[in-house]
Structure 1
Amino acid sequence: MILNRLETSLLGLAAVLLLALMAVTGIDVIGRYLLNAPLSGAFEMTELLLGALVFTALPLVSRNGAHVEVDLVAGVLPRAVNRGLGVFAALVSAGVLCWFAWTLLMLMLGQIHDGARSVSMGVPLAPFAALGAAACLLSALFGLIRGFTHD
């Protein structure tokens, strides 16, 4: 199924981003404290990699239903009510995530128009906004699927 392949691709991308983040941090620490030569641009690389990692992981969390949930009264409500609340929560979450995606898409278009780049390394920022928008849309889709199919 295409969603399973997509999930596997996201897991792979998240693993690569996490390894890159660890490498940047490790090289910077070793360079800074042992060689007195910190990695140039390490702070900016960390920011960009961490943002990409968070957005890459967001659909995975939605797919697995691993978001934080508070269910103070779920144990005493009838099953049908709990199911209805789950569908309602999925719809609200999907709506908010779609709004985030729209906002990030508009940000990306503005960044493309302005040629926005990171300060010290000059990395284009629009691809990161595009990743965030795509991740929010995918999270909305995964959340809706889970909300309507999970009991």
Structure 2
Amino acid sequence: MTKGRDALLWLADALAGAMLVVLTALTFIDVVGRNIFDQPLIGSNELTEYSLALVTFLAYPVVAWKRQHIVVDLFDGISPRWLITLEKIVSDFLGAALFCILSYRLWLQALRLESYGDLTPQLSIPIFYAYFFMSVMSGVTALTFVLSAFAHRANEVSSEHVLDEVV
């Protein structure tokens, strides 16, 4: 299970990193085209928007699993260990609920855009593809938050027992 999970996390990281490289190259080509040849890259804004959506939503599950999201821990130094654990579990389930709502709303919007036949202005790329992707990745992120709550809690409990046995 952990090898499969690690492979999926690595794949999401690698895809997000590759998209960042593509985004950087796209921006470089567009800037050079604008400033040197007085000819911008056609559709660069649309490709940039798509790339940003891919990078962002590919990164969310990784951030959720590794708990790398922004956290304010003002009271962690004085709070008992059980309260910190409870806080992490509640925040995981809250994150899962929010991403479930986001996934549902994005799915509805994707269906609406598909029915309208909305396309990007210059390259005529269907917009609903990005919304379906964002919806699916939001669902994956919600699932990741739930799995994170159980997996990290199990790790914390097992490490507490190891500490008890050592002491």
Task: Report the TM-score, using the length of structure 1 for normalisation.
Answer: 0.92
For residue 92 of structure 1, report the CA deviation from its aligned partner: 0.9
Partner of 2:36: 34
Shift of residue 5, structure 1, vs aligned partner: 2.5
User: Which stretch of the first structure deviates more once superposed, 131-140 or 101-110?
Assistant: 131-140
Moved more, 7-16 or 57-66: 7-16
Matched, 1:115 2:145: no
Which runs of no fewer than 5 residues in structure 1 stay unpaired? none
Corresponding letter in the other structure for 2:6: N
- Which of 126, 129, 132 is matched with 1:130 structurally? 132
Quick one: which of 105, 108, 114 aligns to 1:106? Answer: 108
Equivalent residue pairs, number: 151
Task: Return the match for 1:46 from 48, 63, 66.
Answer: 48
- After superposition, residues 1-151 of structure 1 pair within 5 angstroms as 1=1, 2-150=4-152, 151=156
Structure 2 unaligned spans of 5+: 157-167
Misfit runs of 4+, over 4 Å? none
Rg (Cα) greater in structure: 2
Could you tell me how far apart the structure 2 residues matched to 1:58 and 1:119 are? 28
RMSD between aligned alpha carbons?
A: 1.4
Which residue of the partner structure matches residue 162 of structure 2?
Answer: none
Is the contact between residue 61 and residue 67 of structure 1 (CA under 8 Å) also seen in structure 2? yes
Mapped partners of 2:135, 2:7: distance in 1 = 20
Deviation at 1:15, TM superposition (A): 2.1
* Residues in 2 aligned to 1:124 and 1:13: alpha-carbon distance in whole angstroms: 21
Is the CA contact 1:65–1:143 (under 8 Å) kept in the aligned structure 2? no
CA shift at 1:134, angstroms? 1.5
* Whole-Å separation in 1 of the counterparts to 2:47 and 2:82: 48
Query: Which fold has the larger relative contact order, with Cα–Cα distance below 8 Å and residues 6 or more apart in sequence?
Result: 1
Cα displacement (A) at 1:82: 1.2
1:147, distance to aligned residue in structure 2 (A): 2.2
